[in-house]
Amino acid sequence: MNEKQMSQICLIIIIIGIVLFIISYENEFQEKNISELIENEGSKGVVFGRVQHIIKNDSVTLFILTDGNEATVYHPKQIEIAINDFLIVHCESQSYNGKIELIAHRIEKA
């Protein structure tokens, strides 16, 4: 094998990788509402809602988000939010003490 044949192998690897990517990839976070996430434990999505109550905002942030339905949102960092703020939350639903909570990966103010 010479370096030209090796370059061709590299191109084949790239094409295989991109084809596999196109076939297998689906966007991790699609717009959903809170009830959809709560009903399917382990599902991910982007929810839009209002901060109803802040339970804790120290080293971690724990608050209740509502979009008609409500859910407890846990974020492993302290963030600046206030009651009645509108937020866009990228999150995943997980069970904690028998109750479904939303684990926030990212929180943005709307």
Partner 1 sequence: MILLFLFAGILTGTITGLIPGLHSNNVAIILAPLSFFGETALVFVLSMIITQSFVDFIPAVFFAAPETSTFEGVLPGHRMFLQGKGFEAITLTVFGGIIAIPIGILCLPVFNLFLEINKDRFIVIIPIVLIVTIIILSFSEKSKAKVLLTLFVLFASATQGYFFTDQIFPLIAGYFGVATIIHSAKNPPSIKLQEISAQIKNNYVIDSLQGILGGAIVSIIPGIGSNVAAAIIKTFKQKINPKNYLVLVGSINTSNLFFSFPVLFILNKARNGGMILLNDKMFFTNQSFVLGIIIMLTSCGFGALITLAIAKKVSSFHFDSKKIGSIVIIFLVISVFAFNGVIGLVALFFSTATGLFVTIHKIKRSSCLGALIVPALFYYLFILV
User: Binding string, 32-61, against partner 1, x = CB under 8 A?
Assistant: ----------x-x-----------------
Beta-carbon contacts of 70 under 8 Å, excluding residues fewer than 6 positions away, are 34, 52, 64
Of the ranges 6-14, 33-41, 58-66, 67-75, which one interacts with partner 1 (CB under 8 A)? 6-14
Q: Is 39 exposed, middle or buried (0-12, 13-18, 19+ CB in 10 A)?
A: exposed
With binding defined as CB under 8 A, does residue 6 bind partner 1? yes
- The DSSP 8-state label assigned to residue 110 in this structure reads -
- The DSSP 8-state label assigned to residue 44 in this structure reads E
| Contacting positions for partner 1 (CB under 8 A) | 1-3, 6-7, 9-14, 16-18, 20-21, 24-26, 28-29, 42, 44, 90, 92, 103, 105-106
